[in-house]
């Protein structure tokens, strides 16, 4: 049984996250330790295992990038090694520029405006890639899945940039 089946959801990228959360609560209640207080130790252990599995499933489906990764794994799309180097030159040049943009923020005359602008730039580029990946996941051909997997790797760079921006913001407003 895969994670979508566990939650009784259709295997689609655009899922109803509210429903996902509701089913999660319901499933977790069904394996809650209180319900197994008088059960055998074996049943108690099974409930704990099940609870941990439900939790893993929920985490994998809740986050869109993790969900995409999980779906691609289910489809047998070869996922490049996380540690393998990425060599798309154009993309990496852009990443350098974006990193430089973030490094410049703290020297801006109007830091709030610079942060706002940087956030906008990152969001627009993230959204563009995200929408493309969404379409490719919906296409669900071998080729589209491969392209979706490439875009997923790119999106991870943006996820990292967002974290950097958050960190920068914390740093600038603390000092």
Partner 1 sequence: MAYSEKVIDHYENPRNVGSLDKNDPQVATGMVGAPACGDVMKLQLKITDEGIIEDAKFKTYGCGSAIASSSLVTEWVKGKSIEEAAEIKNTAIAEELALPPVKIHCSILAEDAIKAALEDYQSKQDS
Name the site residues for partner 1 (rule: CB under 8 A): 80, 82-83, 85-87, 89, 91-93, 95-96, 99, 153-154, 156-157, 159-161, 163-164
Nearer to partner 1, 20 or 169 (CB): 169
Q: How far apart are CA 154 and CA 146, in angstroms?
A: 13
Compute the radius of gyration of the chain from its Cα atoms.
21
Two structure tokens written together for 110:
């109007």
DSSP string of 130-155?
Answer: HHHHHHHHHH--HHHHHHHHHHHHHH
The distance of closest approach from Cβ of residue 65 to partner 1 in the complex, given in angstroms and rounded to an integer, is 11
Please state, in angstroms and rounded to a whole number, the distance separating the CA atoms of residues 116 and 120. Answer: 6
What is the spatial distance between Cα 101 and Cα 114, in angstroms, rounded to a whole number?
A: 9
Q: Which residue number, 40 or 85, has a Cβ lying nearer to partner 1?
A: 85
Comparing CB distances to partner 1, the nearer of 58 and 158 is 158
* Nearest distance from C-beta of residue 121 to partner 1, angstroms: 16
CA distance 47 to 103: 49
Nearest distance from residue 29's CB to partner 1, in Å?
Answer: 36
Query: Closest by alpha carbon to 78, among 4, 158, 152, 167?
Result: 152
Coil vs helix vs strand at 63: coil
Minimum CB separation of residue 153 from partner 1 in Å reads 4
Residue 50 or 162 with smaller CB distance to partner 1: 162
Shortest Å, Cβ 164 to partner 1:
8
Nearer to partner 1, 50 or 153 (CB): 153
């Amino acid at each position: 049984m895969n994670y979508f089946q566990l939650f009784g959801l259709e295997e689609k990228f655009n899922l109803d996250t509210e429903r996902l959360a509701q089913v999660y609560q319901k499933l977790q209640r069904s394996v809650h330790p209180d319900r197994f207080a008088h059960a055998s130790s074996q049943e108690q252990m099974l409930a704990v295992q099940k609870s941990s599995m439900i939790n893993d499933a929920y985490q994998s489906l809740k986050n869109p990038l993790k969900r995409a990764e999980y779906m691609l794994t289910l489809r047998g799309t070869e996922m490049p090694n996380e540690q393998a180097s990425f060599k798309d030159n154009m993309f990496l040049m852009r990443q350098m520029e974006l990193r430089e943009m973030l490094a410049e923020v703290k020297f801006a005359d109007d830091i709030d405006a610079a942060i706002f602008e940087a956030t906008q730039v990152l969001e627009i580029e993230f959204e563009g890639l995200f929408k493309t990946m969404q379409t490719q996941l919906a296409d669900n051909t071998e080729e589209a899945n491969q392209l979706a997997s490439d875009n997923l790797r790119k999106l991870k760079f943006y996820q990292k940039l967002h974290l950097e921006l958050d960190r920068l913001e914390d740093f600038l407003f603390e000092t």
